[in-house]
Structure 1
Amino acid sequence: MAKETGLSGAINNVTQKQKEASFDHIGIAEKENNRWYVLHAAPKGGSQKQDLASFLKDQLNDGQKVVIYRLKPEYQKSVTPALKKAESMLGKPYNFNYILDENSYYCSDYIERAFRENGIFKLEPMTFIDPKTGKTNEFWTEFYKKKNLEVPEGKPGCNPNGLAASEKLERIGEF
């Protein structure tokens, strides 16, 4: 679950969909040889396969909660191909611009691409507008100014809140 300040707060400020939950990171769990892993894209390590215990330790030590979702039964057949796709994208650097790029991924981009073949999630026009002011959130204005880039308002993308809000998922619980 998202923090309220910094990058996490800025992501959540313009993307939160659910009143009871807000997210700034997303991954996919995989069981392999009786061990659980999380495949995800993170600023530290890029696209990676991390032992679940290590992932949970990182998140919980950072003051985050971890919420577990599962695809509804009618979409379960897409899990195996998504895991194969996610495995094929491991090792790519993190996308610090949050603009779709074939050579680097941000967390929700990594997950959307993993499931893209089966249309589980969809890209939507990104927004960086603060719903309270109706103007581009100041964090994002400064963020992209420092990178000498325009705010990618309306460009295709995805975010953890948008993916978590999918009607194809069901909430299982949280750590």
Structure 2
Amino acid sequence: MTSCRSTPVSGLENGDLLFVTAKETGLSGAINNVTRKQENASFDHIGMLEKNRAGNFVLHAAPKRGSQKQSLKDFLKDRKNDGQRVMVYRLKPQYKKAVPAAVRKANSMLGKPYNFNYILDENSYYCSDFVERAFRDNRIFKLEPMTFIDPKTGKTNAFWEEFYQKKNLKVPEGEPGCNPNGLAASDKLDRIMELK
């Protein structure tokens, strides 16, 4: 039996980008605090859809299990359990030719650990880094200088100050990187729908 509120999987395309809404607190809130670009869209995670004969999968890098291929059903269940929503963005028609190579590249990066430092590294990836790298050969996204400044205070966000202090690392202010909000703001993407 199917529900009227079932996920509109038939409307999804290979290479669609799944952006997960940010929570208000913890790491999610801290990411959003220093990266939010739009009031109506604030995200703390991103994955890329792979549609193939075996089903629908999300290629992404997450703290649990690192760089992975997860069934779309399980990906959506995890987000729902965390009280988060998933928005689908799609490359505009003139950029869609980049999708097959990006899906292949993402599959080649599976199995690498999660990058808990959020400083670019060839041996581990964080979520937006994983997606940016998948599309890098086609220059779909670009790395930007990272900022950890709280826009309300003009000072380094206290969460990030403590986060990097515990790791004995300097806050990587100005270092190249990317984040889900920055990727969602790309003029190469269209917002398509929310997955239920």
Matched letter for residue 171 of structure 2: V
Higher fraction of strand: 2
Q: How does 1:119-138 map to 2 (within 5 A)?
A: 119-138=139-158
Consecutive unaligned residues in structure 1, runs of 5 or more: none
* 1:62 corresponds to 2:82: yes
For the residues of structure 1 that align with 2:54 and 2:117, how far apart are their CA atoms?
36
Deviations 1:61-87, CA, capped at 9 Å, x for gaps: 110000000000000000000000000
| 3-state SS, counterpart of residue 31 of structure 1 | strand
- Specify the alignment match of 2:98 in structure 1: 78
Matched letter for residue 136 of structure 1: T
Consecutive unaligned residues in structure 2, runs of 5 or more: 1-20
Q: Which of these residues, 32, 38, 44, is aligned with residue 12 of structure 1?
A: 32
- Specify the alignment match of 2:47 in structure 1: 27
- Specify the alignment match of 2:129 in structure 1: 109
* 1:45 corresponds to 2:65: yes
For the residues of structure 1 that align with 2:54 and 2:140, how far apart are their CA atoms?
26
State the TM-score, normalizing by the size of structure 1.
0.99
Matched letter for residue 162 of structure 2: E
Deviations 1:13-45, CA, capped at 9 Å, x for gaps: 000011101000001001011511000000001
For the residues of structure 2 that align with 1:166 and 1:60, how far apart are their CA atoms?
26
Aligned length: 175
Identity of aligned residues (%): 76
Matched letter for residue 159 of structure 2: F
Q: Which of these residues, 168, 171, 174, is aligned with residue 151 of structure 1?
A: 171
| 3-state SS, counterpart of residue 32 of structure 2 | helix
For the residues of structure 2 that align with 1:165 and 1:48, how far apart are their CA atoms?
25
For the residues of structure 2 that align with 1:34 and 1:73, how far apart are their CA atoms?
25
State the TM-score, normalizing by the size of structure 2.
0.89
For the residues of structure 2 that align with 1:32 and 1:143, how far apart are their CA atoms?
39
| 3-state SS, counterpart of residue 26 of structure 1 | strand
For the residues of structure 2 that align with 1:34 and 1:102, how far apart are their CA atoms?
29
Deviations 1:128-152, CA, capped at 9 Å, x for gaps: 0000100000000000000000000
Give the alignment's Cα RMSD to 1 decimal.
Answer: 0.6
| 3-state SS, counterpart of residue 128 of structure 1 | coil
Structure 1's consecutive aligned runs of 4 or more residues displaced over 3 angstroms after TM superposition are none
| 3-state SS, counterpart of residue 153 of structure 1 | coil
How far has the Cα of 1:120 moved from its partner?
Answer: 0.2
Structure number, greater radius of gyration: 2
For the residues of structure 1 that align with 2:71 and 2:64, how far apart are their CA atoms?
15
- Specify the alignment match of 1:3 in structure 2: 23
